[in-house]
């Protein structure tokens, strides 16, 4: 992009430099300012203007002629065809007047036309290059060198030479070169430029590292898991690029409108020339000037810029916030969603059970938890790990259990400090002959509120119950509230039992609950909402929710940087934060507003400018020359590009 911007700048400068003396020696300068300088070396001023126009036509304007040829080969018409036609016809006519054809040349109009149009393109390309800052920033995140431990010795090698499975040394203050898993060490890592997470994330052995993030404190040894194009960073860059190159429905409409505007412009030029020359009796030169002015001012440059510039800015703003739109259509459609469907587990909740309540009928609460944790440390069940983690969080030291025996689907029994401890289901306690002693009603009440219950028995008696639940994410309530403030209905879709689903829904203020839904039924539930006339966005983890994500008008995958390759979603949220859902919708709406503003300006501009350019108001002295038309057209394009860049100032909470 930088090379293209530089090339366009050089072409503009050449056109500008040569157009100044061409204008000074032109008949219009004599009429307007009384300038009648003598040409050097005794040559005629029109011959001098012809010579000075050669670099403008054959170097600066070559980009228009090449573009026009390419468009015609593809059997289409675009603004390159209009500009090339205007410059080619105007310059050829002017050359013929130098060779003796009666009439007045207008080399100055052709030179200034080229300069102004090139200036507009230069500004447009500069705006696009500025809009790509996020992609460049992401590309710069990957460090050029990495430290690899080979044969026990740290070696610095190019990042491109790191292989999957190699052990990396990530020193404090350095960037993680590739995706990896921590094997040794503990540190905090800044992932803000990848996931949008503002606070450093603690990393311990077993945790994943994303290439391009910054190790803030301790040294880490990590095993490379993904390199090159497979890394999360490379996939993010590819997603942003693909989104910027794709076309939204509104842009495709604008492209079709631009094609027909070119047809209208060329036809309008012929009609204008015929009307002035044949009907009004104007001179050939005057008629041709009006025709060229119509062709130039009708260039659909602004119309072609209206949506892609806004899309580039919108996708880059999303990338900086950890919101990746896979294509322009998703960016546009997200603004029209009326219903958001959330999967529960791992989306609205953390997806990990936690101990939320302990009810005892014997040992004190901490003692009950300590005994239960001693047994559960020997188990790999998720509920067992949750009980063990709860003891750790309270600083309880659980003794080592002996004679551990797991009972499939029911729980476990072990000896702890010489006491027989049973942790598991109601059925397990009944199997070992323990009476519930009134805890059955307590457990039933907890289960009715959506909790999972583990009974704890000690030495033949039921000592208490441990209630576990999958806690909601800290920002889930805020996300639901923001969606409600925008008039969006919020639905929760889950395979969990209704009691658990209703508890979470009540806690978050969700409008509607679809519970006990099998994974293969989720897609049908989304389709049912669509048949009711809703525009549905589905938010899930991209695994068992894949069919529903694909069915939704906009599928939104919520997860971490390692999950960026989710294929079925239209939008990928790098952070596991539900608030990014209303944030993505707000960004979409701001982008669509800019697109509509730009399209409105582009259509309105051409509607007003065409009759003026054609000389419809010449009776009132209101006419345009080709160079003024070129300036107006270029100004319109620059205005559209600048308006799109103002999207960067939009407040996206």
pLDDT given at position 256: 65
List 343, 470, 496, 580, catalytic entry: 343
Pick from 115-119, 484-488, 514-518, 634-638: least confident: 634-638
pLDDT tens digits, 428-476: 888 888 877 778 888 888 877 767 888 888 888 888 888 888 888 889 9
pLDDT score, position 477: 93
Higher pLDDT, 542 or 489: 489
Q: What is the pLDDT of residue 114?
A: 83
pLDDT averaged over every residue in the chain = 81
* Cα–Cα–Cα angle for 396, 401, 403, rounded to 5 degrees: 165
Higher pLDDT, 423 or 519: 423
When pLDDT is cut at 50, 70 and 90, the band that residue 193 belongs to is low
> What single-letter DSSP state applies at residue 353?
-
Residue 545's pLDDT band (cuts 50, 70, 90): confident
Q: What is the pLDDT of residue 486?
A: 92
pLDDT for residue 516: 80
In the predicted structure, residue 568 carries a pLDDT above the cut 70: no
- d(CA 116, CA 650) in angstroms, rounded, equals 30
Say if pTM beats, i.e. exceeds, 0.75: no
Structure confidence at residue 223 as a pLDDT band (50, 70, 90) = very high
| Inter-residue contact 491 to 514 (CB < 8 Å) | yes
pLDDT given for residue 561 in this prediction: 37
564 pLDDT above the threshold of 50: no
Q: CA 133, CA 135: separation in Å to the nearest integer?
A: 6
Can you list the domains of the chain with their CATH numbers?
2-133+242-310+594-648 (no CATH), 143-230 (2.70.150.10), 324-350+473-579 (3.40.50.1000), 354-469 (3.40.1110.10)
In this predicted structure, the answer to whether residue 121 has a pLDDT above a threshold of 80 is no
User: Any catalytic annotation for residue 343?
Assistant: yes
* Average pLDDT estimate for 337-363: 83
pLDDT at 194: 67
Of the pLDDT bands very low, low, confident and very high (cuts 50, 70, 90), residue 557 is confident
- pLDDT on residue 531: 92
Q: Which structure tokens are listed for 39? A: 């040409």
* C-alpha count within 13 angstroms, C-beta hemisphere, residue 199: 3
Q: How far apart, in whole angstroms, are the C-alpha atoms of residue 647 and residue 653?
A: 14
pLDDT of residue 252: 59
Q: Which pLDDT tens digit goes with each residue over 504-513?
A: 888 899 999 9
How far apart CA 383 and CA 406 sit, in angstroms, is: 14
What tens digit of pLDDT does each residue of 195-210 get?
Answer: 655 567 888 898 889 8
Q: Which DSSP string do the residues of 103-116 spell out, in sequence order?
A: S---HHHHHHHHHH
Strands (E), 408-504: 411-416, 419-424, 452-458, 461-469, 489-493
DSSP assigned state of 433: T
Phi, psi for 99 (deg, rounded to 5): -80, 0
State residue 148's pLDDT score.
94
253 band by pLDDT with thresholds 50, 70 and 90 = low
User: Could you give the angle at the alpha carbon of 632 between the alpha carbons of 628 and 637, nearest 5°?
Assistant: 145
pLDDT on residue 234? 80
Percent of the chain with pLDDT over 90: 18
The pLDDT of residue 27 is above 90: no
How far apart, in whole angstroms, are the C-alpha atoms of residue 74 and residue 70? 6
Each residue's pLDDT tens digit, 614-634: 777 766 666 666 666 666 766
**Mean of pLDDT values over 558-582:** 71
Average pLDDT value for residue range 70-93: 82
Contacts within 8 Å (CB) and 24+ apart, 534-538: 534/338, 534/339, 534/489, 535/333, 535/336, 535/337, 535/338, 535/339, 536/337, 536/338, 536/339, 536/340, 536/341, 537/334, 537/337, 537/339, 537/340, 537/341, 537/581, 537/585, 538/341, 538/343, 538/493
Mean pLDDT of the region 588-601 = 85
Residue 519 is predicted with a pLDDT of: 66
Q: Output b/e per residue, 491-528; b: 16+ Cβ within 10 A.
A: bbbbbbeeebbbbbbeebebeebbbebeeebbbebbee
């Amino acid at each position: 992009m930088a090379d293209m911007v530089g090339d366009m700048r050089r072409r503009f400068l050449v056109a500008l430099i040569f157009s100044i003396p061409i204008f000074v020696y032109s008949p219009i300068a004599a009429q307007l300012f009384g300038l009648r300088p003598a040409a050097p070396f005794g040559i005629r001023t029109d011959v001098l203007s012809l010579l000075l126009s050669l670099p403008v036509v054959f170097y600066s304007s070559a980009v228009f002629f090449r573009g026009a040829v390419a468009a015609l080969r593809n059997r289409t018409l675009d603004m390159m065809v209009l500009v090339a036609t205007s410059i080619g016809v105007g310059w050829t006519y002017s050359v013929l007047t130098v060779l003796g054809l009666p009439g007045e040349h207008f080399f100055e109009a052709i030179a200034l036309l080229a300069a102004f149009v090139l200036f507009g393109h230069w500004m447009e390309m500069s705006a696009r290059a500025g809009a790509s800052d996020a992609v460049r920033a992401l590309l710069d995140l990957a460090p050029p060198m990495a430290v690899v431990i080979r044969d026990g010795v740290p070696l610095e090698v190019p990042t491109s030479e790191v292989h999957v499975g190699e052990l990396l040394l990530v020193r404090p203050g350095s960037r993680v070169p590739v995706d990896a898993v921590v094997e040794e060490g503990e540190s905090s890592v800044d992932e803000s430029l990848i996931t949008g997470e503002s606070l450093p994330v603690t990393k311990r052995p077993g945790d994943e590292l994303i290439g391009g993030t910054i190790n803030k404190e301790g040294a880490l040894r990590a095993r490379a898991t993904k390199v090159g194009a497979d890394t999360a960073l490379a996939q993010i860059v590819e997603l942003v690029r693909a989104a910027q190159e794709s076309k939204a429905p509104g842009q495709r409409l604008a492209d079709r409108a631009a094609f027909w505007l070119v047809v209208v412009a060329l036809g309008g030029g012929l009609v204008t020339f015929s009307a002035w020359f044949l009907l009004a009796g104007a001179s050939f030169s005057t008629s041709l000037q009006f025709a060229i002015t119509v062709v130039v001012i009708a260039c659909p440059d602004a119309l072609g810029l209206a949506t892609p510039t806004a899309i580039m800015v919108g996708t880059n703003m999303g990338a900086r916030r950890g919101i990746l739109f896979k294509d322009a259509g998703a960016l546009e459609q997200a603004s029209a969603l009326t219903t958001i469907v959330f999967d529960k587990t791992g989306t609205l909740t953390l997806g990990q059970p936690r101990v939320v309540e302990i009810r005892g009928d014997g040992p004190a609460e901490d003692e009950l938890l300590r005994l239960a944790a001693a047994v559960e440390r020997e188990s790999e069940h998720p509920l067992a790990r949750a009980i063990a983690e709860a003891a750790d969080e309270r600083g309880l030291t659980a003794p080592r259990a002996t004679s551990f025996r797991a009972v499939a689907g029911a729980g476990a029994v072990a000896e702890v400090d010489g006491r027989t401890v049973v942790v598991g289901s109601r059925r397990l306690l009944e199997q070992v002959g323990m009476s519930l002693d009134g805890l059955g009603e307590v457990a039933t009440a907890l289960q009715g509120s959506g909790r999972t219950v583990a009974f704890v028995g000690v030495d033949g008696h039921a000592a208490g119950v441990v209630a576990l639940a999958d806690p909601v994410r800290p920002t889930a309530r805020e996300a639901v509230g923001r969606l409600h403030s925008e008039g969006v209905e919020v639905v929760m879709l889950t395979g969990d039992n209704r009691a658990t689903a209703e508890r979470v829904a009540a806690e978050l203020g969700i409008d509607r609950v679809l519970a006990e839904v099998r994974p293969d039924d989720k897609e049908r539930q989304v389709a049912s909402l669509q048949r009711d006339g809703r525009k549905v966005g589905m938010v899930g983890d991209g695994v068992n929710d894949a069919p529903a994500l694909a069915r939704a008008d906009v599928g939104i995958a919520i997860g971490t940087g390692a999950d960026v390759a989710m294929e079925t979603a239209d939008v990928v949220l790098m952070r596991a934060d539900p608030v990014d859902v209303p944030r993505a919708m707000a960004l979409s709406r701001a982008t669509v507003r800019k697109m509509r503003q730009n399209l409105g300006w582009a259509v309105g501009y051409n509607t007003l400018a065409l009759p003026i350019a054609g000389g419809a108001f010449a009776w009132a002295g209101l006419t345009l020359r080709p160079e003024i038309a070129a300036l107006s057209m270029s100004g319109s394009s620059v205005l559209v590009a600048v308006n799109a860049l103002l999207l960067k100032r939009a407040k996206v909470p």
